Amino acid sequence: MSDERQWAAVILAAGYGSRLQKDIENDPSKSFDHLLGQPKALLPVGGVPLLDHWLRAFREADGKVGPVVVVTNELFHRQFQEWAVSRGLGRNAVLNDGTTANENRLGACADLQLALTAKADVLGDRDILVVAGDTLFFQDFSLGAFLRALPDGRSGVVTYQVGSDAETRKRGIVEVDGTGKVTQLLEKPEPSATASRSACPAFYAYRSSCVPLIGTFLEANAAAPLEAKDAPGQLLAWLVTRTDVHAVPVSGRFDIGNLSQYRDTLAFYAQTLDANLRPHAGAGVVVGRACARAAIAGNPSDGFGGKTLSLLVANYAASVTVRASERVVFVPHPEYDKGDEFASMGELLLSTELNGYYGGLRLLRAAAKRFAALCEAANVPLVSNFTMSYETSIPRMVGLSGSSAIITAALRALLQFYAPALGDGGPAALLARLGLADHDVPQLVLDVEAAELGITAGLQDRVIQWYGGLVLMDFSPGTPRGAAYMRMPVALLPPLYLAFNTRLLGDSGKVHSPVRARFADGDHVVVGGMRRLAQIADESAAALRAADYAALCDLMDENFALRRKMYTDAVVGERNLQMVELAKAYGFAAKFTGSGGACLCLRRPGAAGIAAGADGRRALELTAADEEKARRAFAALGFVFVRVELDTSGESGGESTVLSALDGAKPPEIRGAVLQID
């Protein structure tokens, strides 16, 4: 039947989806508002963008499909480029037809000709598959089988039987002779006009010999109104009178012209995917979450065999969603994984200042890769594929541990997603099957960052983000890690506030610090300073237990002063110093949450506005008016100021708890480079 020539694919996705967008705007449930501004071809279907289904079909067609070109408009160009880059096609696979609204659209046929001309070097003399971006066939469709069914040298279309006579008025109906050759296409005919009920969706296989006729069609209709040459069905009706076109029947197609049709498509895919995946995955959609981290005391001694006392900041968190899908897909974040194209130098500057040079996609992939390797080594079957996406509200590059939060959330989600396939034991049983205890997970997160991505990191952040709440950590040499983590009741904490920098460029805190080398050389300032910081962590824990908040304030201030002495003002940075000094001016003790960019603030019992002797927990809380005054003062200098919301997810009662028992085990090796661990 079919010859072995390789096909190219042109996806027509320059429509504006006006009717669907209007339906979403008017939908009283507001369930689909998050899809406003999304092109139809990228709408999620079965957990992945619609075009992913076509990309899978191309890749599973026995090597018969080569280059892929997507034609879109100016409005959606960026979104399709992001999709193409994330799917390995490259941004040059997307062609912008330059239109900006439905009123000045070129039309599908002109867009096809644009692709044939502008991408001639890519398409070459290949046969061309033409696919409307909002077209989707039932899941039993096989592109490879369709191509094999085409007689040599003959172009092809697919047909399906309409459900009622009235449907003919909405479809292009083809008449086919006994050999399968299309003899005529009627556009939306009356039922009485033809005995055929074979509808022809917007999917065409054009042989290279008939490709030049597309330009001829447009030239012949140059003076005709757009409606006479817009739809690809009109081109097909013209072509079947000039070249042989073969019809191949399929079981059916989805039409996503309006919200009702989109709902029907989602329901169909939900039913079929759930039926296929339920015996394996047991969890259709799961979400893992991890909050921002702030060290109360001790940092950065944790990178030097010291101790830290840390808490989670529930105001800001990363979440990772994993849902069952046919392929493993990592969805780029629309803000943090923008790729390498910007509207202007100003956008480049702003995006890089706010988000840095790397998004979160690499963190998801690295976490999934490490997890897959563990499962393979432990003979744990990964019986379902997934689509993974993420969101994060954690401010970036200010020492709140946003990267490890994404990885921790991803591992949590993967454990939840795959655990049901092993029975009723949940994630803990899967961890045990992988040969891991609870206290091994922070090291696993560190391995993802250090070994997979080369990120310099340490354990403090990963410990608190895995265990949650408030944890005292001991990294003293020779201490078994199982006994190194002590959870303390979150209820011991007084009202705390967080300030962080929103101006990320130009901070002299990026100056290289020789502290590690000085520590290794036995510098008494650094060695003594790190020893004292470890003591401060213990003393701060004791101050919390005694509700001695004045002592805790003194310890926080001492912690910052020691850091400043060891690292110097050039490394600490002018902006960071300004932030801490502003906090002190408002009666707060303040210290870095991590390596700089954010500070944790505790109001001193003797600060202005606090009655003498009123040193209880509630007395340290700002009034609404005072909090707003402080917020405005910080905002005026480019800082955010908020009340810390505490995480209580790990609470197990009102007592301090050792997080894993002393078992005399040899201390596990800490893998990964460690410099400044906060």
| Claim to verify: residue 421 and residue 308 sit in the same structural domain | yes
Domain boundary among 490, 505, 532: 490
Is 461 a known active-site residue?
A: yes
What confidence score (pLDDT) does residue 612 get?
Answer: 42
Residues of the chain with pLDDT under 50: 1-2, 273-282, 482-483, 505-512, 611-615, 652-654, 661-678
Is the N-terminal amide bond of 300 cis, ω within 30° of 0? yes
Angle between helices 624-636 and 574-585 (to 10 degrees): 150
Torsion 275-277-283-287 (CA) sign: negative
Does some domain include residue 16? yes
Does some domain include residue 305? yes
Cβ atoms of residues 361 and 332 within 8 Å: yes
Does some domain include residue 168? no
pTM of the entire predicted model:
0.56
Query: Residue 248 belongs to what H/E stretch?
Result: strand 245-249
Q: What is the DSSP string of 579-601?
A: HHHHHHHTTEEEEESSSSSEEEE
What residues contact 395, with CB distance under 8 A and at least 6 apart? 292, 316, 402, 500, 502, 597, 598, 640
Does some domain include residue 185? no
| Claim to verify: residue 32 and residue 63 sit in the same structural domain | yes
What confidence score (pLDDT) does residue 50 get?
Answer: 92
Phi, psi of 553 (to 5 degrees): -60, -45
Of these residues, 337, 447, 461, 647, which one is catalytic? 461
- The CATH number that applies at residue 215 is 3.90.550.10
| Claim to verify: residue 331 and residue 465 sit in the same structural domain | yes
Q: How far, in Å, CA of 475 to CA of 465, rounded?
A: 17
Q: How far, in Å, CA of 425 to CA of 183, rounded?
A: 62
What residues contact 616, with CB distance under 8 A and at least 6 apart? 547
| Claim to verify: residue 251 and residue 309 sit in the same structural domain | no
Q: How far, in Å, CA of 275 to CA of 322, rounded?
A: 18
DSSP 8-state class, residue 448 = I
3-state per-residue secondary structure call for 255-272: ECCCHHHHHHHHHHHHHH
Q: How far, in Å, CA of 191 to CA of 172, rounded?
A: 12
Q: How far, in Å, CA of 332 to CA of 160, rounded?
A: 35
| Claim to verify: residue 425 and residue 531 sit in the same structural domain | no
Contacts within 8 Å (CB) and 24+ apart, 372-375:
374/434, 374/436, 374/444, 375/418, 375/434
| Claim to verify: residue 98 and residue 48 sit in the same structural domain | yes
Domain boundary among 456, 471, 490: 490
| Claim to verify: residue 437 and residue 293 sit in the same structural domain | yes
Does some domain include residue 656? no
| Claim to verify: residue 439 and residue 297 sit in the same structural domain | yes
Half-sphere exposure of 66 (CA within 13 A, CB side): 12
How many structural domains compose the chain?
Answer: 3
- Nearest 5°: CA angle at 246, between 242 and 249? 145
Q: What is the DSSP string of 44-70?
A: EETTEEHHHHHHHHHHTSTT-EEEEEE
Q: Where in the sequence is the domain holding 67, given as residue range(s)?
A: 7-154+201-222+246-271
| Claim to verify: residue 406 and residue 437 sit in the same structural domain | yes
- The CATH number that applies at residue 518 is 3.30.70.890
Q: Match 């502003």 to its residue by tokens.
A: 582
Q: How far, in Å, CA of 487 to CA of 311, rounded?
A: 10
| Claim to verify: residue 645 and residue 505 sit in the same structural domain | yes
Does some domain include residue 405? yes
| Claim to verify: residue 381 and residue 483 sit in the same structural domain | yes
Q: How far, in Å, CA of 72 to CA of 245, rounded?
A: 27
Does some domain include residue 675? no
Helix locations, 503-548, DSSP H: 515-520, 524-545
Cβ atoms of residues 85 and 91 within 8 Å: yes
Q: What is the DSSP string of 82-118?
A: HHHHHTTS-GGGEEE----SGGG---HHHHHHHHHHH
**What is each CA distance from 302 to 328, 443, 484, 536, in whole angstroms?**
37, 14, 12, 12
- The CATH number that applies at residue 375 is 3.30.230.10
What residues contact 548, with CB distance under 8 A and at least 6 apart? none
| Claim to verify: residue 479 and residue 598 sit in the same structural domain | no
Cβ atoms of residues 619 and 610 within 8 Å: yes
Does some domain include residue 658? no
Query: Residue 364 belongs to what H/E stretch?
Result: helix 361-377
Cβ atoms of residues 497 and 644 within 8 Å: yes
Longest dimension (CA), the chain: 100
Burial of 279 (0-12, 13-18, 19+ CB in 10 A): exposed
